[in-house]
Amino acid sequence: MRGKFQDETTWNQAFIIDVYDISRQAYIMSFPIYKIKDEKLKNIMATGDHLYAIIGNSLVVYDFKAILKKK
């Protein structure tokens, strides 16, 4: 479901990941993982510094920015 403040272009071009702090039961932020062709997002895994995503047969790696590392 598209969020209240998410524009339609990003919604159509990306998978939107919501981040929650489960210990405080609080929403932190959302960010996009951009699609590769029409491939499905199969799996994601996060470490302290990176997010790994398998989209179709591709592995993509993202660095977390400082704002997310602090949370």
> In this structure, are residues 35 and 14 in contact, taking their beta carbons and an 8 Å threshold?
yes
Helix/strand/coil for 45: strand
Per residue in 31-65, pLDDT (tens digit) is 899 999 999 999 999 998 899 999 999 999 999 87
pLDDT grade for 67, boundaries at 50, 70 and 90 = low
Model confidence, pTM: 0.75
C-alpha closest to that of 15 among 39, 47, 46:
39
pLDDT of 70 reads 65
Per residue in 4-33, pLDDT (tens digit) is 767 777 778 899 988 888 999 998 888 899
**Which residues, other chains included, contact 5 with Cβ-Cβ below 8 Å and sequence gap of 6+?**
none
